């Protein structure tokens, strides 16, 4: 889903686009160790942590800028080919881990888990910008 404005600076097929996109990018993870977990420089047994779930989320609404080509623009054509190349800004990732074992409520463990979340956020922070490529067909009634 998107809301975009197109500008055809040369009154032809070439266009510059800007607007917002719905960004559904996310990562879900489940970890089940049979041995140990290392979280925040501390080793925990699998029985202490239990199942570890994680999620990485980005902004749901993302600004977009791009360039494209629309062969049907300004002509009385019923069919056209569309192509776009752009980038959306999806913001800094937010990492969230949840442990489902008996240690999940321990404050020292929770602090280590928060530290691990922050470390991963810093490692993947370069993914704030996401490339967008699209190709399509147009039909006018």
Tokens of 29: 């993870």
Our count of domains for the chain comes to 1
pLDDT in tens, 58-114: 999 999 999 999 998 877 788 999 999 999 999 999 999 999 999 999 999 999 999
Distance CA 39, CA 113 (A): 6
| pTM, full prediction | 0.81
3-state secondary structure at position 59? coil
DSSP E strands: which ranges in the chain? 2-7, 14-22, 26-31, 36-39, 42-45, 52-57, 61-70, 79-89, 94-99, 129-139
- Inform me whether the pLDDT recorded for 34 exceeds 90: no
What is the distance, to the nearest Å, from the Cα of residue 97 to the centroid of all Cα atoms in its chain? 17
Stretch 1-18: mean pLDDT: 95
Pair 62, 20: CB distance under 8 Å: yes
The boundaries of the domain holding residue 88 are 2-139
CB-neighbour burial class of residue 28 (10 A; exposed 0-12, middle 13-18, buried 19+): exposed
Stretch 24-37: mean pLDDT: 94
**Tell me, what DSSP letter sits at residue 34?**
S
């Amino acid at each position: 889903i998107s809301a975009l404005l197109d500008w055809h600076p040369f009154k032809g097929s070439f266009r510059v686009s800007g607007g917002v996109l719905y960004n559904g990018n996310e990562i879900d993870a489940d970890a089940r160790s049979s041995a140990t977990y290392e979280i925040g420089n501390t080793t925990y047994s699998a029985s202490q942590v239990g199942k570890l779930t994680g999620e990485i989320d980005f902004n749901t609404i993302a600004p977009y800028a791009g360039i494209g080509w629309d062969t049907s623009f300004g002509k009385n054509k019923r069919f056209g080919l569309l192509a776009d190349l752009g980038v959306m800004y999806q913001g800094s990732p937010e990492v969230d881990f949840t442990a489902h074992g008996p240690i999940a409520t321990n404050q020292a463990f929770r602090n280590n888990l928060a530290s691990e979340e922050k470390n991963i956020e810093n490692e993947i922070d370069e993914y704030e910008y996401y490339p967008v490529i699209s190709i399509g067909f147009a039909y006018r009634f």
